[in-house]
Amino acid sequence: MADSNTIRLRVFSLNCWGIRYLSKHCRERYAMIGELLSREEHDIVLLQEVWSEKDFLCLKRKLSSTHPHSHYFKSGVIGSGMATFSRHRIHDAFLYRYSLNGYPYMAHHGDWFGGKAVGMVILNIGSLAAHVYITHLHAEYSREKDSYLPHRVVQAWELQQFIRHTSSGADLVILAGDLNLHPQDLGNRLLRTYTGLRDSYTETAKFDGCEDGITLIADNPFINPKELCPFEKGIRIDYILYKGSGRVSIQCESLSTTKGSVPDHPFPYSDHEALSAELQLQTLTQQAGGDETRGDQDCAAGKLAELVDIVTEARTEVKVGLYCAERMRYTAARTGVMGLALLLLELAIAAVPWLGADQPFPRASFYLLGVLCFAILITTFLLYIFYTMEVKSLQGAEDQMRLAVGSLQERLRRFPLAQPLNPLCRPPDRQDPCPLEPEE
């Protein structure tokens, strides 16, 4: 093996549930989080749901000595809620806002107002260029009747596109956050298979945390257990994902999660459990050459075949969402036409006194009906615009997926079919560049 240098990198991720005046014990929990981060001194800290910039600034002051570099991603009405703290200098930052993010009239869910997005910061860790991504996808709310599933699939699609097209020059890639996706959900499979990112929970050599890596546990005092049905113990929706390159090999040495209430405190850090991963980076001074083996070809072909199925499944789900959005747009248009007809009738009735006849309706009722018609017309007009934007975004994602499936099938046909494909083949430890990267 070539000579190499080893670097250990500690990464922390937590959904802070930091809604001022609504989240319970918000101020006390932020103080606890600040103490934890100051004590543990992780290299990279990625926080979600830091909804108030004042809370971010408080954390920034508290962590100024241990994490001198930070960035707060601003988006939407109340902000993306995403914040990054680092012991390494942040050289660049960028935010991409997802094209679909729920509905503004579902105010009690609040996702639309947050402007969900993916943020990226570029760090130099020694001589290595690290691209670190943080995101928070749309929540599920109901497993059985998930009306947001097409939106979350599109978000996962845009997330994998963003990572693939912005990480080509990176030595290592790290993605962390609340994905609101179970490990085998469509969006999760789409993200990991397309990008080649590895799950720290399944890859770690040592794990210390909640059973099955659960990050939303039923025993958390801030959670209503009924919201976790049918998962009695809880769900795993928070992740630290990573991958290396031809120059760097990455292994997850250990992963830990918090386990509910903090010792010496009556409540936990958040309604989610925090994740802390220790990654070992091995810089390779030489790269092995040689032609691609038959096994490597079968592995790459198997991945392509698997990816074709996943993208086709995602495309089908987007089509379902597109059909629903078109129906809602049609309903808004019909209701708007009815409101316009009633308003025109009101204007015709208002013209009756000009013809010398008495007003047939009481004046108060007449004005009230006019206001109602006008409100219906304005509301349906805004809804029609919103659903048109949703339709366009879903159509755009479906078109992109159609092109991707065609390209993947074309690449798949280049492989010899003398041996059966093995879609479960894993990449080598050296982590050569993923064969699923877009062709130049």
Active-site residues, by number, are 272
Question: Whole-angstrom Cα distance, residue 174 to residue 220?
Answer: 28
Question: Whole-angstrom Cα distance, residue 317 to residue 186?
Answer: 9
User: Residue 411 CB: number of other CB atoms within 10 A?
Assistant: 17
Number of helices and strands in the chain (H, E): 8, 15
First vs last C-alpha separation in the chain: 30
CA neighbor of 101 nearest in space, from 139, 146, 54, 143: 139
Question: Whole-angstrom Cα distance, residue 36 to residue 22?
Answer: 23
What angle do helix axes 149-166 and 186-195 make, rounded to 10 degrees? 10
Instruction: Please say whether the beta carbons of 258 and 238 come within 8 A.
Output: no
CA distances from 220 to 262, 272, 305, 360 (A): 11, 8, 41, 63
Instruction: Please say whether the beta carbons of 133 and 119 come within 8 A.
Output: yes
CA neighbor of 87 nearest in space, from 144, 23, 41, 154: 41
Instruction: Please say whether the beta carbons of 270 and 15 come within 8 A.
Output: yes
Distance from the Cα of residue 2 to its chain's centroid: 38
Question: Whole-angstrom Cα distance, residue 232 to residue 242?
Answer: 29
